Every structure is written in C-alpha cells, then in structure tokens.
A and B are shown apart, each in its own frame.
Chain A
Amino acid sequence: MTLFAEYSQVLFVLACVFGLFMAWGIGANDVSNAMGTSVGARALTLKQAICIAMLFEFAGAYLAGGEVTETIRSGIVELDVMAQHPDLFVYGMLASLLAAGSWLLIASMLGWPVSTTHSIVGAIIGFAAVGISADAVQWSKVWGIVGSWVITPVIAGVLSYWIFRSVQRLILHTDDPFANAKIYIPYYMFAVGFLLSMVTILNGLKYVFTKHQLEFSFLDAVVIATGIGAMVAALGIYLLSRITEDKTADKSRRFASVERVFGVLMIFTACAMAFAHGSNDVANAVGPVAAVISVIKSGAVEANAPIESWILLLGAVGIVIGLATYGYKVMLTIGKKITELTPSRGFAAEMSAAATVVIASGIGLPISTTHTLVGAVLGVGLARGIGALNMRVIGGIFASWIITLPAGAGLSILFFYIFKALFS
C-alpha cells in the first residue's frame, strides 16, 4: 500500500496529535462534571479533587479503558467493509477525532456542554455511513450503544435511590446516626473497592499486559477483589476513627457530625468516579488512534488487532494535562454553584454513577458520564433527599443529543473529504 509507505509517519503523528488534543479536551471539560459533586458537597477541596482526579483518571484510563477503546475502534464500523478501503478507514478515523475535538472546542467557547462520547460516536457513524456506505456501520451495535445512553441514567437513578434509602434506614433514621455511620460506612467502602477491582481485573488488565496474556478466572478475580476491598475498608475505618463527634455543631444542625463521616466516604467515591470516568472516556480520544495505528502497522484492517497499551497511556496523559491546565477552572465554577448537596447525598449519587459507568466500561459500552450522574442525582431526589432539582435539565439532555450527534457527524464528513483530497 503505497499510501501507508509514503504517509505512514505523517498519519501516525496526526493520529497521536489529534488523540492528545481530544484527550486534553476531555480532561478540560468532562472531568469537572465527574468531580463536581465532591467539590460541591464540600467533601473535597479543589486541590484534593484535582489530585484525586489526576491519579484516578489516569488509573481508570490505563487499567480499565481498553474494552471501550476496542468498541470505538471496531465495534461501530463494519470491519469487513472497511477491509476493502483501509485508506478511507484511516482518513475517517482521523476525521472523526478532529471533528469531535473541534466540536468540543466550539461548544466550550459557546458555553454549551457537550458529551465527548456522543461526539465521537456520531462522528464515526457520520464518516462511515456517508463517506463509505451505509453498510459500513454495524447498525445493530449502534442501536445498542444509543440504547445504553438512555438506559444508563435510569439504572444509575434506580441504584442511587436504593443506596440512599439504605443510608436512611441504616444510619439517618436511627437513634444514634453518628455511631451507626461509623459501623455501616466501611461496608460501602468495601463495595467501592470490590467493584472497581472486579472490573479492572476481569476486563481492563488484559489491555495493559497485552504481551503476557494475563487471564484471571472469575474466582481468582473475586478473591483478589475481596482482598482489595477489605484493604480499602480498613483504610476507611482508620480515617473514620479520627473523626470525633462535635456536639456543639450538632446542636444547630443535628446531622453535622454524621455528614462529616460521610465526607470521608465521599473521598472514596470520588476516586471511584474519577476512575470510572477515565475508564469510559479515554476511549473517546484513543479509540480512533488505536484504529489508525493498527491499520498503519499491519497495512490492512484487522478484526483482532490488539490495542497497544501505550495508546491508553497517551490518552491518560492527555486527560491529566487537560485537567491540570484548564479543567480545574471549570471544576471550581461547578463546585461553587452546587450548594445543596450534602455528603450523604453526594455519596449515593456518586457511588451509583461510578458503579454504572465502570460496569459499562467493563462491557465495552461508551456512555456519557455526565448524563449518568444526572440520573443518579435525580434518583436521590426521588428519595426526597434534595431540596430542589431543575427538571429542565432533562430537556437539555435531549436537546444535546439532537444537536451533538449530527454536529459530530457533519464535521466528521467534512474533514473526511478534506483528508481524502489531501492524501490521494
């Protein structure tokens, strides 16, 4: 393939640059929504939130982001059809990246929120369906992905409703909420550690250790995850033991001390949220990169090309840089505006959102973290836990779907034809 011989270096560099650009955008925009609940509930200071985000977004992206990346690379387009046009495939993936990244930039400048997931998926569908042929898209899988965008906020909502009800029953409605909080919260911490470990071990690590073909049986995974969960809970118990009941604060607000205990729990769920977000969203940046790289390396479109772990690393680094350079500003703004969320609510919402997102990452479903979080918060509101929720946001979510998908597709088609003209 003369195309690749001549231009392989250029295409390689372009792929990496666009991927980094997109990852930067994700770090700058999306992370703030994931971590905003923690800052708003005053469970973390901005600095702590940024540190946690940097560490765990990276970890999530690298250790658990492989499955979704694989979906973006090969789960949306029909690889058999693409195999006949490897050059168009490469242009298309580059165009999708550039389109999604530019849409991210435009929307940020206009102050509109945009889902990076929806942008990249829309862009890929756009170039494949229009630029190549309608057969080039795995429509059944696409409907599955779109369906998951509707279902995951609902699942997160149901989960958060029940988590919050359990908190009410076990802790808030009892005679001594403070003591009960210290007893039951370590179980929630265990659950967080267990869940994250399970997803990482079962589905994430095989992309990190591609050379070693690391395979864990389900039982192995359960044992290791239980161990990690226990360690997390132990750490939690230690941190909780350092919180003492503040009787004077309790006079004015009966639950002040209990909320501080929940604040510790929120640190763990914030880590989980950052991890989950990294695991699901890194694919938006590096999925297309992985596609391009695999074609360049082998000269043809292959169904079983493994995702190279350095690609996940690239995405992870990009996200962290985006967060450090711009994302913290957005987080500050969001954190200031959320004043009504206390740690007991924030924890329920974050835990269910993180669980939903990380399980979706394990299955390989690209979903919107922000919308999932909105669903989770609504679930807590349904349990009558929040003072006032603005339902117009739901209208905003529908509007963003209607706008983002065509916008991403349109831009992607545009760039696709430009690349096609440039390189052939």
Chain B
Amino acid sequence: MFETNYDVVVIGAGPAGLASAIEAKKVGAQKVLLVERDSDLGGILQQCIHPGFGLHIFDQELTGPEYAYRFIEQIKPLGIDVLLNTMVLDIHSDDNRIYAVNQEKGICNIGYKSLVLAMGCRERTRGAIAIPGTRPAGIFTAGTAQRYINMQGYMVGREFVILGSGDIGMIMARRLTLEGAKVKAVVEIMPYLTGLTRNKVQCLDDFDIPLYLKHTIVDIKGRNRVEKVTVSQVDDHLNPIKGTEWDIECDTLLLSVGLIPENELSRRAQVKLSPATLGPIVNQRMETSVKNIFACGNVLHVNDLVDNVTVESRVAGNYAGLNAIGKNFLIKKVAECLPGDGIRYIVPQRIEVTDEMQDVTLYFRVKEPARNVTLEILSKGQTIARAKRQKINPGEMEKMKIKASAIDKLGHELIVRVAEVKG
C-alpha cells in the first residue's frame, strides 16, 4: 500500500479545493496535496462553458474553465502536489489519515495535519422528489446533461421540458437552444425563481422560453423514451390542482430541482452536519466539529456564485495551513449564529472569539422573496450590523460583515433576521 504524509490534504479540486490549497500553501504549509477523482483539475467548472464567473473576484466575466484556470496555473509554480483520477474512500479522523484509490498507486494511505473537505455537491434526482409516471430513457439531471453535451460532445434529446428554475436548468435551456434543440417550458413549483434573476433574463427571456411558476410535473409518459410530460398548477401548499393539467410532448425531461452537499465522506469522519445546509457545521475559520478537518464550497452549503466559494475557501485554506504549522487559537467565547425571522440558514454556524479576530463575513439565505428590507445582526439585544436591500431572494446568497472590533460585543448567540419589510 502506498503511504505518504502531508501537512494539508484537500479533497476535491473544484473551485473550493483549488483556492484552499493555494491559500494553505501561501500561508506556510510545506506539503500540500490536492486529491481529485476526475482526470483534470477544475471540478464542475470544466463543464460550465458559459460566461458569468469572476465578476466579483476578478472584475471580469469569465467562463467556467477560464475561471478555474486562474487557479490551476498557480498549482505547479507553488509546488502543490496533485493526485488525479483518485477517489477518496474513507477518512480516519482518529489517526488523521485518508484512504484513496487510483490506478497507478492502488490504495493510497495518506496522513494529514489538516484536511480540507471540498467535495462539492450532487444533484437532486427524480426519485428524491418522486415524480410519478413511467421510467423511460430521456430523464436527466441538468448537470449530467451538461456533461454529456459540453464534455463528451453528445446531445441527449431534441425537445425538452425543464423542471426547476435552478441556475443550471436555465443555463442548460439556453445551451440546448443554441444546439438546435427546442426547449418547450421551464416549470417551477415555487411562486418565485430559485436561480439568479440574471439567468432568467439571459437564458429564458432572450430565447422566448416560457417559465411557469407555481407549476409542477405530475406525470411522465413513454415506455422506452419520454414521450410527454403532464404539467399541473399547484396550490399554496404545493399540491397539484385537479383540472389544471396539460400535456407537453417532448423526448427529454431535465431536472434542476436542487443540489445536495456531498457529505458521505464527512459522515465517515464523524463530522457534525447541519440539517439546514446538509453540510458540516463550521466556525468562522471553516473548521468542522472534528479536529483538523475544515470544509468549504458547496460541500458546506450550496452557493449561487463561484466568487463566494473562492472567498470562503481562501479562509478555509488559510486556517487549514495555519493549523498544519502548529498555530493554536485560544478561544475566549463562542457565539452561535442563529437564523431569525425570514432566514433559512447561516454559515458559519458559530463564531469563536479569540484575541486575534478579523472581520467575519456571514453568508445566509432568506426564506422568501421581498423588496425594500433591512437585514440585521443582533446580539444581547443590540444591533451589531444593519444593511438595506432593495430586494432579497431565496435563490441569491446574502452576506453581511461583522467588523473585528464589534466581535467583542457578541454574547453567546447572535441572530440574523429580516427586520423590516416596506411596501
């Protein structure tokens, strides 16, 4: 068995893994290893050939591969080691080792001082949402279809219906249209868009693709290949309304019905997960409940913008690097971050107050769309921070900063809430 040891091991070389590995190295970790199951670096960005990445980080609109390349090109010069085509099978957090497998080395047993979980997420399936009907070919998650088309060079259908207004679904609606396919409808069960508004404008409106909010698919027909789907309006409890159904003939149904952080390995390492994010519970250093294990990116919570992933992953990489070179933090106090009115979840879930505080950015999602609101962070009955927003949307991540100077004022809890809704 191949055995080796590293200061920092990063699982997954998508945007989160790349940024955290680079940061860990820059902060002084000597030996940094990226473990990636695919044959190339970049993760899912490789198949995201559309533009829209990097506006916040690079002030430029890049495609997915271009965005990934900004990081990939630093890996070699920085002396970060890479294991490609390598799947991590297990994490033994009691003795700080991972077990991975690849074709050349066989089973690799790799020790770490810090481990960064950056495995990303997977797509919710038809089975998870129990769409009734037959089980023919022609039902794909949007990301799988994107891989077939953009990576393998194949089309997966001619006439499409897309369920879910997530970003990948809308982006695929445009991509399929450009490939000469007909996208007949995007169907969304919620009364609002679940992806970014800019994607609706650029991917649906510009191509005259109809969007049906408050609708869902109640039946799939076809024995061998999808022949049609039945669309129905839903009521306020998301139940289909009898009598509102109609059929759309199509040969393919794409699903863009949510992403789920991929935490099978985290579970094996006994990392505590949040039922709200389905990812690890972390502090502001992106450290999980298990010693020496950090997490960042979509494994932690599903992000809308890769730029946010980069910022968060730099934090994780920085502290994973510091942890590996023996840096300890004396914790004076812990403040739990609790979602208040109108908030679904907050990351990080806890702030550990030390003598060396820096500003902390809280990332959170709201429960419902609203206009002209004030977002507030409260602790011990005092307002720590306030921010006005013209509109908020569950599909778009919100963030607010707590200044280092304000952190001493925190109690054992802090609450983020949507404070005022005007008009």
Same complex origin of A and B: no
Q: Which residues of B contact A (CB under 8 A)?
A: none
